[in-house]
Structure 1
Amino acid sequence: MADAVIDNPILNSPFSEPARHWRFGETGITNEIVEGRRPSSYFMPIPASKIRGKQLQLETQWTRDRIEENARINRVRERVTDWRSLGWPGVTPTTRRLLEYWTNEEREKPLFFCQIEALETAIYLTECATKQGDAWIGNELQTLADEQNPGLYRTAFKMATGSGKTVVMAMLIAWHTLNKQANPRDARFSDAFLVVTPGITIRDRLRVLLPESPDNYYRERDVVSAA
């Protein structure tokens, strides 16, 4: 059975936390609206039956029976949401000024909710999680890092095409740099950054992350106040 035909699939504003989503059913997406944000999940592809003379293919239809919840991500998301509702307790003065600037409702160039949430998550993990009783997050991430790449601690943000990943990179760089300038001995922050790209074309596109670039994103996307 084919997925439901939805004339207008947009339910939420990109500038606010999602409040509704379309339900997945036994045969795929439905036209039933469910209140609340969709939990983070991924879909497990299932090998289709092998047909003589043809290669094995993967069925990737999005149906409810193939959904696996990203439990760790949902737990972190919940903790960041609670922390946000309290007004970001535990952040540095520099970080607070940035968060207030990025979330100012009078901005001429408002940021997407997903961009702000990405930074809030990075900030929470770096500045606040342990103080808020969530040391388990860092411990789990460290364990995973040790299993996969000992000596190289990494966190990653998965964002959709068109959601503004380059702006998020600029926000991360600004957050680190300004905090490092304010507190040079604070080892949580850095003022040196390595950007790795899969090719020259993307490398050239990311020159907007260089402060000396005439069209840098810190100014063009209003990441840092000119005042």
Structure 2
Amino acid sequence: MPQTTIDKLIINSPYEEPSRHWSYDRENRVFNLADGRREAGYVIASPQSKAFDDPSIFVPIELANKIRPRVKQWRGSGYPGITGITKRLLEHWKAPEERKERRFSFASSKR
């Protein structure tokens, strides 16, 4: 269902590849929850518009969009070509039991 505002901006785990994203319909100016990872890119103002609510132009980042499937395949293949230490580090980061003890809070810190 289209929305004009987003109540819950973060919808994916920081530890997994994104499975959903907020897709912005620039013509109708609404957000839709879409499956899959969003295309890498950024928006710029339309050259002819000076309006505050300019729908803008999406500019894809082609290199990032080409790299993402290759990284996914590399991960799925077990990280071929890396050192043993690097493999252990990547496995450590991915292990859910390692994350339970350390939840990061960017809003506060214990001192």
Q: TM-score, normalised by structure 1?
A: 0.38
Matched position secondary structure for 1:106: helix
Contact 2:39 2:60 in 1 (8 A): yes
Q: Distance in 1 between matches of 2:16 and 2:43?
A: 25
The equivalences for 1:1-227 within 5 A come to 4-27=4-27, 30-47=30-47, 61=53, 63=55, 66-107=57-98, 108-109=101-102
Matched residue, 1:175: none
Cα deviation code 1:9-47 (max 9, x no counterpart): 332222322111122113465232110010101112234
Q: Distance in 1 between matches of 2:15 and 2:23?
A: 22
CA gap 1:99/1:79 in 2 versus in 1, 3 angstroms: same
Matched position secondary structure for 1:46: coil
Contact 1:46 1:59 in 2 (8 A): no
Residue 59 of structure 1 and its aligned partner are, at CA, apart by 5.6
CA gap 1:27/1:88 in 2 versus in 1, 3 angstroms: same
Larger Rg over CA atoms? 1
Contact 1:21 1:34 in 2 (8 A): yes
More helix by share: 1
Q: Distance in 2 between matches of 1:29 and 1:91?
A: 45
Contact 2:15 2:94 in 1 (8 A): no
- Unpaired stretches in structure 1, ≥5 consecutive residues: 50-57, 112-161, 163-227
The RMSD of aligned alpha carbons is 2.9
Q: Distance in 1 between matches of 2:18 and 2:54?
A: 20
Matched position secondary structure for 1:18: coil
Q: Distance in 2 between matches of 1:62 and 1:10?
A: 24
Residue 7 of structure 1 and its aligned partner are, at CA, apart by 2.8
**Seq. identity, %:** 35
Q: Distance in 1 between matches of 2:7 and 2:36?
A: 21
Greater relative contact order: 1 or 2 (C-alpha under 8 angstroms, separation 6 or more)?
2
Q: Distance in 1 between matches of 2:52 and 2:47?
A: 9
State how many pairs are aligned. 102
Q: TM-score, normalised by structure 2?
A: 0.72
- Unpaired stretches in structure 2, ≥5 consecutive residues: 107-111
